[in-house]
Amino acid sequence: MDTITYNHANAKSIPEHPEYMITEDGQVLSFKGIAPRILRPATNKGYLLACLSLNGQPHGKLVHRLVAQAFIPNPEGKPQVNHKDSNRQNNHMDNLEWVTPKENMAHAQLGAAMQAIAAERSMTANLKFDPQFRVFSEPRAKAMLREGATVYDVVKHIHGVTLKKQFAKGLDTTTKRNLRKQGVPI
């Protein structure tokens, strides 16, 4: 595998695609034409995807897999590549590792996406949805929470949503009084 330095990063040729190289920080270089150029990858489900051509046929290649294949040894033959920081756009070799499907799933459950889902669930667990309005109110409530609203904002602004009694009982009297002044039904 050929290796060069490009913009202060090591780059290696991509097997089966001799006119392309991948850098250790995830840039795909094309050597078609007069001067090398950096390809702009597309995104697919959050992952960066480079379109490489071979004999006039386009081939979509996941950038993180190209980096791992070029720069990270895989003596155990693990089939998947994991982003250590859960950021699918960060394809630097230091952020990638070879994993088994089981290891990848375990990491995903601890990742930022799963934490956000868990936080949303814990907040909606404090809300009671009127069955008559639930079809409309629950998706709106979840959207508000994702955008940074509090459960109190949701109760105040969406018809058919109230705080669960157990949650409201746990609030101190000052908080309850302030919420009532703001128009939050308790």
The burial of 16, by beta-carbon neighbours within 10 Å (0-12 exposed, 13-18 middle, 19 or more buried), is given as exposed
Q: Which amino acid is at 53?
A: S
The Cα–Cα gap between 76 and 57 comes to 32
CATH 3.90.75.20 fits 3-110, yes or no: yes
Q: Going edge to edge, which strands form the sheet with 42-44?
A: 42-44, 47-54, 57-62
What per-residue confidence (pLDDT) applies to 1? 56
pLDDT in tens, 73-82: 999 999 999 9
Axis-axis angle for helices 101-110, 112-124 (nearest 10): 50
pLDDT over 90, % of the chain: 35
What per-residue confidence (pLDDT) applies to 124? 82
User: Cα–Cα distances in Å, from 52 out to 20, 31, 149?
Assistant: 8, 11, 43
pLDDT in tens, 106-162: 887 776 666 677 777 777 888 888 888 888 888 888 888 878 888 888 888 888 888
pLDDT in tens, 10-34: 889 898 898 999 999 999 999 988 8
Taking a C-beta distance cutoff of 8 angstroms, is the pair 152, 179 a contact?
yes
| 22 or 186, which is more confident | 22
Strand-pair partners of 163: 127
Q: What are the sequence ranges of the domains in the chain?
A: 3-110, 124-181
What per-residue confidence (pLDDT) applies to 131? 86
Above 80 in pLDDT, residue 101? yes
On average, the pLDDT of the chain sits at 86
Rg (Cα) of the chain, in Å, rounded?
Answer: 25
| 28 or 181, which is more confident | 28
